[in-house]
Amino acid sequence: MMSMTARSIANIARRPKGRRWLTVACAVGASVLVGCADAHPPPPTPVGTYTTLPLPSAATIVPPPTTTVPGVADCDATASLRPSPPGVIPPGGTVSEIVARGKVIIGVDQRNYLFSNRDPATGTLEGFDVDIAHEVARDLLGDPAKVEFRLINPADRIKSVQTSDVDMFIMSTTMTCARAEQIAFSTQYFEAHQRLLVPRNSAISEPADLAGKRVCSVADTPAVYAVQREVPDVEIVSVVDWGDCLVAIQQGQVDAVSTDDGLLLGMAVQDPTLEIVGPVMEVAPYGIGMNKNDDDLVRSVNGTLERIRKDGTWTQIYNRWLTALGPSPGPPAPHYQD
């Protein structure tokens, strides 16, 4: 603390009595303030309350399972009907109805970035699945633009073809035995691999790290069961679509997202603070879903998939959208049941 000089004291002594005491008080006060400034007082304690952001609409918490998680069914869900000859339109079938209508109605999910999402500049749908849909329209109607896209939540896709609200859906859908009992599938048009999406500073690098954590996935998808088989002690946040999972991990409401790497790539491209990690948990073969009774349409769609495998169109579509996954692996080989 600074001391007062003799000259300062003498000057104070020569001042009138009232002012003398005021000056001394001010000098002492200034000395005290200097001392306090050197002490660096602790910061004030924050006051107020903090609330957690609500989960996305319709999200539910699925606690760790208390019973055995369903295993992978023993069937070939990828086996489909052989293609019909090009240009053949069986009378009285679904294909003839589509031709008479002049457009094919295809269900898509507009929140699957890189597979089916809206271009913010033009408002048009684009992506890998969308390009496949245009090729189907090209062969059915001679014009890739003759397609009406209908937006569907993943939870409603099975019902949408069962009730013929759409002719088919192309929604990055894994072909499973359970689904194949309800609807018809095309041959496989893409092979995805289930992995994990986490923040870049996360300690999670493999499924074993998920114990006691929260993982986001879409309701009633194979991804949910795959996570539970790998790590029983995990809490699933079940949402309506994958866009909700992106919001949940960005807001810190879940520790990871688990689904196919193609869909995870779309999220990582939108948010570079996220990354795909871990080994492959499950292989996910994608198929186009149709009504069980529409054999003629299934054969026609399989003809389109066979064409784009052979003429290089499939590889062109892959290179347009998915090269961040690596070089094109080539189209998956078809499996036929007849």
pLDDT one digit per residue (tens) for the chain, 338 residues: 444 444 444 444 444 444 444 444 444 444 444 444 445 666 665 555 555 566 766 677 877 666 655 555 678 999 999 999 888 888 999 999 999 999 999 999 998 999 999 999 999 999 999 999 999 999 999 999 999 999 999 989 999 999 999 999 999 999 999 999 999 999 999 999 999 999 999 999 999 999 999 999 988 788 988 999 999 899 999 998 888 999 999 999 999 999 999 999 999 999 999 999 999 999 999 999 999 999 999 999 999 999 999 999 999 999 999 999 999 999 999 999 99
Cβ neighbours for 99, distance < 8 A, ≥ 6 positions apart: 89, 140, 141
Q: Which of 268, 242, 237 is nearest to 110 (CA)?
A: 242
Query: What letter does residue 56 receive in the DSSP assignment?
Result: P
Sign of CA dihedral 278, 281, 283, 286: negative
Could you tell me which residues come within 8 angstroms of residue 223 by beta carbon, excluding any fewer than 6 positions away? 194, 217, 258, 259, 260, 282
pLDDT at 35: 44
How many CB atoms sit inside 10 A of residue 65's CB? 16
- Distance of CA 9 to CAs 5, 18, 20, 31, 148, Å? 6, 15, 10, 15, 95
User: How much is the pTM?
Assistant: 0.80
Phi, psi angles (nearest 5°) of residue 228? -65, -30
Q: How far apart are CA 226 and CA 335, in angstroms?
A: 24
Q: What is the CATH number of domain 193-282?
A: 3.40.190.10
pLDDT (0 to 100) of residue 39: 54
Class of domain 73-189+286-336: alpha beta
- Look-up of token digits 């009406």: 148
Pairing of strands 256-260, 116-118: unpaired
| Per-residue pLDDT, 60 | 78
